[in-house]
Amino acid sequence: MRTIIFRFTAPYLTALMVLFSIFVLLRGHNDPGGGFIGGLIAASAFAIYGIACGVAAVRRALYFHPMAISAAGLLFAVVAGLLSIPAGTGFMTGLWIFPHVFGTELALSTPMLFDIGVYLVVVGGISSIALALEERESD
Amino acid sequence: MAEIEATTGGTLALALPFLAAAIAPIAKRFLGAHAAWLLALAPALAFAILFTFLPTVADGGVVQFGYDWIPAFDVRFSFRIDGLASTFGLLITGIGTLIVLYSGGYLKGHRDQGRFFSFILMFMGSMLGLVLADDLMTLFVYWELTSITSFLLIGFDHDRERARRGAIQALAITGGGGLALLAGFILIRELAGLNSMSEVLAAGDALRSSPAYTAIFVLVICGAFTKSAQMPFHVWLPNAMEAPTPVSAYLHSATMVKAGVYLLLRMQPALGETVLWTTVLPIFGAVTLVMGALLAVRATDIKITLAYTTVSSLGLLVMLIGVGTEAALIGAVLYLIAHSLFKGGLFMVAGSVDHGAHTRELDRLGGLARYMPITFTAALLCALSMGGITPFVGFLAKEEIYHALEHPDAWHVFLIAAAILGNALMFAAAFIVALKPFVGRLPETIHHPHEGGLTIWLGPLVLGVAGLVGALFSETYHHFFSGPMASSAIGAPAGIEISWVPHLNLAFALSLATIGLGILIYLASNAIRAATGRTLAAIGWGPDLGFDQAMRGLLRVSFIATRRLQSGRLDYYMTVTIAVITAGLLVPMIFAGALPSEPKVPELRFYEWIVLALILVGIVAVVIAKNRLTAIVSLGIQGFATALIFMLLGAPDLSFTQFMVETLSVVILALVMTRLRLSPADHRPWRETLPDAALATAGGAGFGLFLLSITQRPFDPVLSDFFERYSYAIAHGHNIVNVIIVDFRGVDTMGEIAVVMTTGLAVLALIRIRVGRRDRAPADPTETTP
């Protein structure tokens, strides 16, 4: 599958898909999208990159081990749930703040942090499986 | 009763050890072994906080504080500091401070010293929480935390097989007992409606007169006996000696093993004074007392000797609590404090000897007094207390015990005989440990014996001196420490008058007899050791071996069960799973007559028909595909078409996800296929594929009919109305699906992503299994020699 065209376009495609996945993740609360779908898109992006340019390149690009990314996601999700305890409400009660940055109102919340956690878990989990399988292909 | 709120102080005292545990590895990295001084501040500060409650507690007051935990079940995170908890807490934090310092010196230069500090501080926090806990569930959580942290501590030298075995044994026995305790607590909560120790103690005869008393008694006793190492559960305690000595000095003096005794003392006013209590406890206690002491004299490793004397002491305590009279409980409390001090000190002495002479074997030790004078002094101070010689706290305890047991009936004669024999054996054991290594000639095998640093000898010396000071100033000692503790255990104010000045009475005479017998045993210890060894060899079986047999049996059973259930063949799993689901769907539908009525052909637009046709094409292509790759891609076509349908029906989220899942499954399936080096096509004959095809058809029919019958029922809009109304109003999100996932049902999602991650880990592990080993059947674990 390592044709020149594929190898040439794959990095651009991957970058676009990762960007798109983040877009999907962030818009998820109000429009179709969310952490799970975003995670799947990013995972397929890395799978494509792996098929085109080899697993080593993906691992270098990811920097962290995919499983560590996944674990960090789970940590984010749990922390997002725990944050409401010091605030005096029950576990996983959503907390919202609306800071103004450069004149724009941003909606930041623990559900968003939680969704980012979901995103990372899915990216890490699926990528680690896909990468491990791709790696084996060559030996 | 004066009750003060002390939320901040109490919470801080409880949290300090855990905070210190969190920073321990970092502290170790920057300060090396000197981190001990910093980390010891945590238990020292907790000690100081508990000390400030002392005036209140000494006057019979109770300090209570807590937080709501699970209000729906009346579970609170609550604590109660009365006499019993206060003295225990002071012992835990006080000895804990010395132990942290001692570990600083003892494990100096050890690779994992930071981790060790972490473990021991976590254990300390768990133990402190255990004795301060008021709510039964809080107590249980801390109870199991001590089991888990002690597992980590005992298995600290995890490179060694024996350490791992000791750790697993301790976890299995004390953790198992903890589960029994949980059942007991649940019974207390459900049947008697009592949620906390305060309520249990205030309820008077409620538990004793409850029909479930016997069940509660047995379950609580199981918890206490396993933790406090009563025969035959004692085996974990000597095996826990595999841990570094600071662990033994801590776990087996004031903490872990005392947890069971603590529970018995705590529950005594509510569960005690029944025939069951006053019979079962003394018998187990007496047997443990004598057997433990015999085994102590038999051992040749001074640490093992001390371990068995601990078993023996615990037996004595359980026996006294079982007798349950005021004098007996006072005796138990005095002995408990004395034992914490001298045993903690003696274990540290054993560690110092090991550290200085590089052996703990009795026959290779001798003449160390000249080289290790401070350790020798500390050893003697502790041994004199353990031997019950005035003016040491051990003396007070022994006098009180004999005083409590002096009744002229056969039952008490039996108990007092056990006490004298046990105490005499322990007297001998004390001096075997504290005298033998230090006197006589220095064996040639010991090179350069030397005293350890300040942190090494400080602990035993302080504990030894404490045993002396406590007895000399017995009035203050009774007022602040033993008195309040005994009052809590009795359930009424206790007056303790015993002092270090001996009075000529029966108890003193028995004390003298014990010492005399003890000296005889000390002198004849070699003969006794040989005789006990021969007897044990003749019996050949013991609870320790029994534990191994039980574990092997368990492995055997699970191995057989696994071999039956897990063939390791993927097609078998698939067949079973699909067959079970299909039967689960079809059988009730057919037999309950719940089959859906024939559906009307819906009026679809032409492009919807095209999508449906695409699905059909995909399925047919899967079935007739000549090779596997084509089949996988065809499956993808069918999946994409389904995603299109979702899109047309107005479920963009679902459709989106379906697209991605389909894409990834095709990619991963293709990768797996190349990975498994399957032949490109399925060459099985018809007679093998036909049953699979039949099952697949049945499965598809099952799901199809099931979905049809669901859609034919009237739609209940409660949930969708709810989500529609509140999605934006309270969760600030227009996308209902996403709001449900991350907010309304966030806990579900949390579970799901945990599963995703675990699955990822499992798949990763499976992929990494070497190809060469894949075909070999798993070895029978019971056939390997341990």
pLDDT reported for residue B270: 86
pLDDT reported for residue A2: 65
Beta strands at B62-70 and A104-105: parallel, antiparallel or unpaired: unpaired
Torsion-angle region of B113 (φ positive above 0: left; ψ -120 to 50: alpha; else: beta): alpha
Beta partners for residue B301, in sequence order: B361
Mean pLDDT to the nearest integer, A44-70: 89
Taking the CA of residue B570 and the nearest CA in chain A, the distance in Å comes to 18
Helices (H), B474-542: 474-477, 483-490, 506-523, 525-539
Distance, CA of A133 to chain centre: 20
Distance, CA of B645 to chain centre: 53
User: What does the block give as tokens for B590?
Assistant: 């057919």
A residues 15-44 lying closer than 8 A (beta carbon) to B? 24, 28-37, 40-41, 43-44
B524 in contact with A at a CB cutoff of 8 Å?
Answer: no
Residues of B in contact with A136 (CB under 8 A): 675, 767
SS3 B711: helix
Residues of A in contact with B729 (CB under 8 A): none
Domain count, chain B: 1
DSSP state for residue B243 in the 8-state scheme: S
DSSP state for residue B744 in the 8-state scheme: I
- How many other CB atoms are found less than 10 A from the CB of residue B626? 10
Nearest of B221, B185, B223 to residue B73 by alpha carbon: B185
The yes-or-no verdict on residue A90 having pLDDT over 50 is yes
Nearest of B309, B301, B308 to residue B365 by alpha carbon: B301
**Does some domain include residue B651?**
no
pLDDT reported for residue A1: 57
Run of H or E residues at B78 = strand B75-81
> DSSP string covering B557-610, please?
HHHHHHHHH----HHHHHHHHHHHHHHHHHHHHHHTT-PPPPPPPP---HHHHH
Mean pLDDT to the nearest integer, A82-95: 79
Q: Which residues of chain B have pLDDT under 50?
A: 1-4, 772-777, 781-786
Mutation for testing the B interface, residue in A49, A96, A118 having most B CBs under 10 Å:
A118
In this complex, the residue of A43, A114, A137 whose CB is nearest that of residue B671 is A137
Specify the long-range contacts of residues B355-360, CB closer than 8 Å, at least 24 apart.
B355/B106, B355/B452, B355/B456, B356/B449, B356/B450, B356/B451, B356/B452, B357/B437, B357/B446, B357/B449, B358/B446, B359/B445, B359/B446, B360/B301, B360/B302, B360/B303
pLDDT reported for residue B775: 47
Backbone angles phi, psi at B5, to 5 degrees: -85, 130
Fill in the amino acid letter for B596.
P
Query: CA separation (Å) from B731 to A106, B575, B749?
Result: 15, 43, 16
Backbone angles phi, psi at B67, to 5 degrees: -130, 155
- Could you report the predicted ipTM of this complex, rounded to two decimals? 0.90
Taking the CA of residue B734 and the nearest CA in chain A, the distance in Å comes to 4
Query: Across the interface, do B754 and A118 touch by the CB < 8 Å criterion?
Result: no
Domain count, chain A: 1
DSSP state for residue B678 in the 8-state scheme: -
Taking the CA of residue A40 and the nearest CA in chain B, the distance in Å comes to 6
Domain span including residue B472: 337-523
A81 in contact with B at a CB cutoff of 8 Å?
Answer: yes
Q: 3-state DSSP helix/strand/coil percent for chain B, to nearest 5?
A: 75, 5, 20
Domain span including residue A63: 4-138
Within 8 A by CB and 6+ apart from B745, the residues are none
Within 8 A by CB and 6+ apart from A83, the residues are A95, A110, A113
Mutation for testing the A interface, residue in B640, B663, B753 having most A CBs under 10 Å:
B753
Taking the CA of residue A52 and the nearest CA in chain B, the distance in Å comes to 13
Distance CA B453, CA B642 (A): 75
Taking the CA of residue A122 and the nearest CA in chain B, the distance in Å comes to 7
In this complex, the residue of B660, B749, B759 whose CB is nearest that of residue A40 is B660
Beta strands at B62-70 and B3-5: parallel, antiparallel or unpaired: parallel
Taking the CA of residue A71 and the nearest CA in chain B, the distance in Å comes to 7
B737 in contact with A at a CB cutoff of 8 Å?
Answer: yes
User: What does the block give as tokens for A9?
Assistant: 């376009």
Query: CA separation (Å) from B511 to B200, B516, B522?
Result: 37, 9, 16
Specify the long-range contacts of residues A53-57, CB closer than 8 Å, at least 24 apart.
A53/A7, A53/A10, A53/A11, A54/A138, A55/A131, A55/A134, A55/A135, A55/A138
Query: Across the interface, do A129 and B760 touch by the CB < 8 Å criterion?
Result: yes
Nearest chain A Cα to B768, which residue?
A: A132
Mutation for testing the A interface, residue in B671, B675, B770, B774 having most A CBs under 10 Å:
B671
Taking the CA of residue A69 and the nearest CA in chain B, the distance in Å comes to 10
Beta partners for residue B78, in sequence order: B66
> DSSP string covering A25-72, please?
HHHTTTSS--HHHHHHHHHHHHHHHHHHH-HHHHHHHH-S-HHHHHHH
Query: Across the interface, do B763 and A129 touch by the CB < 8 Å criterion?
Result: yes
Distance CA B672, CA B649 (A): 33
* Mean pLDDT, all residues of chain B: 85
Beta partners for residue B64, in sequence order: B5, B80
Taking the CA of residue B672 and the nearest CA in chain A, the distance in Å comes to 7
Asked if B56 contacts B84 with a C-beta cutoff of 8 angstroms, the reply is no
Taking the CA of residue B195 and the nearest CA in chain A, the distance in Å comes to 22
User: What does the block give as tokens for B479?
Assistant: 């007022």
B residues 623-682 lying closer than 8 A (beta carbon) to A? 652-653, 656-657, 660-661, 663-664, 667-668, 671-672, 674-675
SS3 B4: strand
For tokens 């018995």, the residue is B264
Residues of A in contact with B672 (CB under 8 A): 133
Distance CA B51, CA B46 (A): 8
Query: Across the interface, do B741 and A126 touch by the CB < 8 Å criterion?
Result: no
In this complex, the residue of B653, B732, B756 whose CB is nearest that of residue A125 is B756
Nearest chain A Cα to B743, which residue?
A: A111
Mean pLDDT to the nearest integer, A92-103: 78
- How many other CB atoms are found less than 10 A from the CB of residue B497? 9
B519 in contact with A at a CB cutoff of 8 Å?
Answer: no
Residues of B in contact with A24 (CB under 8 A): 656
pLDDT reported for residue B2: 39
Residues of A in contact with B656 (CB under 8 A): 24, 32-33, 37
- Render pLDDT for B644-692 as a digit per residue (tens, 0 to 9): 999 888 888 888 888 888 888 888 888 887 777 777 777 788 888 888 8
User: What does the block give as tokens for B735?
Assistant: 């996308």
pLDDT reported for residue B514: 85
